[in-house]
DNA sequence: CTGGGGAAGGGGCCC
DNA sequence: CGGGCCCCTTCCCCA
């Protein structure tokens, strides 16, 4: 399975560990690194032709756009890390979109009728107005649906990748994504290509053996900060990732996943 | 089998 | 808008 998971999963931010201890350690990049490998080879960006990001007007309603429907935004509570696999589909996964009916768009009049039918207060004056097109609705839900299906979608541009189905709300995000297809940063030593210079820099450390991130608790050092962070978990009695059934903790989410898949949670 | 290290990929944020 | 950096996550491999 490729490692390309193109969309970041949004877990509960409260689960962010305290990394302050990492900040106390100065990271020194060896000058040798840059003397020996001065600049990454970055070919000309042929990739950003205009067709690469033709703005489109259809916007998926399943994404993480600020939804006016609070009831639809019931975030997964509490247990973010281990629940990553059951998170809602990524916002840009266009292949799985539209369970709410964009295949047969509802007219504004139909929306109003439906809103009135579903809301006992709909007979009151229409008091919910769209700030974009000034249409008024008698119910909040009616306005919300209107905004989701029409106005918000049309007021936003979408930049789509010509190499895959990904769409982005900003050109910058699209350009960055396209680098993952073109891999413009090439290692002079082994020829391996990377999407970003700092990825290449990290890779070059595998050639030089440089490990600028040291563990304050032992004498180990790491080339990658995230790997040091994972290592620091091994020094902690209470690990970051906890099984919700047996309360056993793990230093890595992957270990928790293995634990869950091994049957602990299934058996209950 | 489990835990941990190494390497890498990606989006978000800040300047 | 782009570059650099941060953080998270994953996969592979090994002890």
Task: Show which positions of strand B are touched by protein (CB under 7 A).
Answer: 1-13
Rounded Cα–Cα distance for residues A83 and A241 (Å): 11
What pLDDT does A132 receive?
54
Better-scored residue on pLDDT, A261 or A33: A261
- CA A39 to C1' C6 (Å) is 22
pLDDT score at A57: 28
CB-CB neighbours of A186 under 10 Å: 16
pLDDT band at residue A183 using 50, 70 and 90 as cut-offs: confident
| SS3 assignment for chain A | CCCCCCCCCCCCHHHCCCCHHHHCCCCCCCHHHHHHCCCCECCCCCCCCHHHHCCECCCCCCCCCCCCCHHHCCCCCCCCHHHHHHCCCCCCCHHHCCCCCCCCCCCHHHHHHHHHHHCCCCCCCCCEECCCCCCEECCHHHHHHHHHHHHHHHHCCEEECCCCCCEECCHHHHHHHHHHHHCCEECCCCCCEECCHHHHHHHHHHHHCCCCEECCCCCCEECCHHHHHHHHHHCCCCCCEECCCCCCEECCHHHHHHHHHCCCCCCC
Question: In this predicted model, what pLDDT tens digit does every residue of A117-133 receive, in sequence order?
Answer: 444 443 344 567 665 55
Q: Is the CB of A180 under 7 A from strand B?
A: yes
Q: Is the CB of A11 under 7 A from strand C?
A: yes
Window 66-95 of chain A: CB closer than 7 A to strand C: 80-81, 84-85
- Report the C-alpha gap between A142 and A115 in whole angstroms: 5
Q: How confident is the model at residue A235 (pLDDT cuts 50, 70, 90)?
A: confident
Q: Per residue in A197-207, pLDDT tens?
A: 888 888 888 88
| Euclidean distance between CA atoms A15 and A249, whole angstroms | 14
The nucleotide minimizing the C1' distance to residue A27's CA is: C5
How far is it, in rounded angstroms, from Cα A3 to Cα A31? 31
Distance CA A113, CA A142 (A): 9
**Does any strand C atom come closer than 7 Å to the Cβ of A234?**
no
How far, in Å, is the CA of A103 from the C1' of nucleotide B15? 42
Mean pLDDT, rounded, for A177-191: 85
Measured in whole angstroms, how far is the alpha carbon of residue A69 from the centre of its chain? 21
The Å distance, CA of A244 to C1' of B5, is 26
For A12-29, how does the pLDDT look when each residue is reduced to its tens digit (9 = 90+)?
333 333 333 333 333 343
Give the separation between CA A252 and CA A150, rounded to whole angstroms.
42
Protein-proximal nucleotides of chain C (any atom < 7 Å from a CB): 1-12
Paired residues of A213 in beta bridges: A222
Cβ A44 to strand C below 7 Å: no
CA of A123 to C1' of B11 (A): 45
Is the pLDDT at A178 greater than 80? The verdict is yes
User: In which band, very low, low, confident or very high, does the pLDDT at A146 lie, cut at 50, 70 and 90?
Assistant: low
- Smallest CA–C1' distance to C11, residue: A3
Q: Is the CB of A196 under 7 A from strand C?
A: yes
Predicted confidence (pLDDT) per residue in A27-53, tens digit: 343 444 444 443 334 333 333 333 333
Q: Can you list the positions of beta strands (E) in A52-163?
A: 128-129, 136-137, 159-160
């Amino acid at each position: 399975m490729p490692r390309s998971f193109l969309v970041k999963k949004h877990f509960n931010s409260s689960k962010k560990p305290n990394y302050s201890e990492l900040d106390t350690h100065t990271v020194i990049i060896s000058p040798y690194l840059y003397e020996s490998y001065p600049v990454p080879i970055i070919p000309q960006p042929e990739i950003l032709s205009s067709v690469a990001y033709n703005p489109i007007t259809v916007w998926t309603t399943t994404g993480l756009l600020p939804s006016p429907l609070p009831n639809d935004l019931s975030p997964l509570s509490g247990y973010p890390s281990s629940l990553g696999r059951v998170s809602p589909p990524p916002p840009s996964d266009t292949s799985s979109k539209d369970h709410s009916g964009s295949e047969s768009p509802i007219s504004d009049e139909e929306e109003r009728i439906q809103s009135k039918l579903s809301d006992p207060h709909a007979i009151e004056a229409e008091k919910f107005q769209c700030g974009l097109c000034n249409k008024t609705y008698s119910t909040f839900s009616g306005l919300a649906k209107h905004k989701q299906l029409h106005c918000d979608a049309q007021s936003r541009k979408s930049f789509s990748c010509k190499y895959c189905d990904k769409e982005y709300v900003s050109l910058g995000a699209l350009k960055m994504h396209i680098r993952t297809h073109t891999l413009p940063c090439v290692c002079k030593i082994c020829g391996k290509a990377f999407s970003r210079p700092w990825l290449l820099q990290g890779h070059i450390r595998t050639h030089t053996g440089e490990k600028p991130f040291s563990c304050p608790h032992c004498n180990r050092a790491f080339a990658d900060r995230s790997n040091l962070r994972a290592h620091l978990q091994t020094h902690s009695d209470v690990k970051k990732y906890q099984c919700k059934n047996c309360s056993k903790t793990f230093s890595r989410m992957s270990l928790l996943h293995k634990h869950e898949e091994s049957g602990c949670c299934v058996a209950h």
